[in-house]
Amino acid sequence: MVEKTLALVKPDGVEANHVGEILDMYEKAGLKIVALKMIKVNKEFARQHYIDLKDKPFYQELVDFISRSPLVAMILEGEDAVNTVRGVNGATDPSEAAEGTVRYKYGHGKTDNTVHGSDSVEHAKREISMWFPEFLDSYLDD
């Protein structure tokens, strides 16, 4: 199914100048970039993005990390986009990520693992509406 998903190049990926290569990896995986921006989020926005993890011991560290410097947010569209992005990204813990994935190549640790990808179509819709409210009307009905 053609679907949309939200991906982030997190602050560590931007700081280390991997934005271009990561966008290239998504495009080479057959995905189309349909929205793209660089933004530094504040802690309240970061808390909302990761609200499902609010009871985890690493929540505060995660919020501090994702809000520490600019990141690149994008909507990617394509066949099976949610799973395709997560495949390109690799496992959450870079030490467990498959060779050739973004997190294998550039992930530093369990928190600063370079990229984010929505984990379901439902969550993708929620995240797209948060990160790209300007596109809400046109994106949520298809």
Distance CA 61, CA 99 (A): 27
Q: Specify whether 116 is catalytic.
A: yes
Edge-first strand order for the sheet with 115-117 is 32-39, 71-79, 2-9, 115-117
116: β partners: 8
Under rule CB under 6 A, which residues in 32-61 are in contact with ligand IDP? 53, 58
24: β partners: none
Distance CA 135, CA 142 (A): 12
119 binds Mg ion (CB under 5 A): yes
62 binds ligand IDP (CB under 6 A): yes
Q: Which of 119, 126, 129, 130 binds ligand IDP (CB under 6 A)?
A: 119
CB of 137 to ligand IDP, least distance (A): 27
Summarize as ranges the residues that interact with ligand IDP (CB under 6 A): 53, 58, 62, 92, 110-111, 113, 116, 119
Active site residues: 116
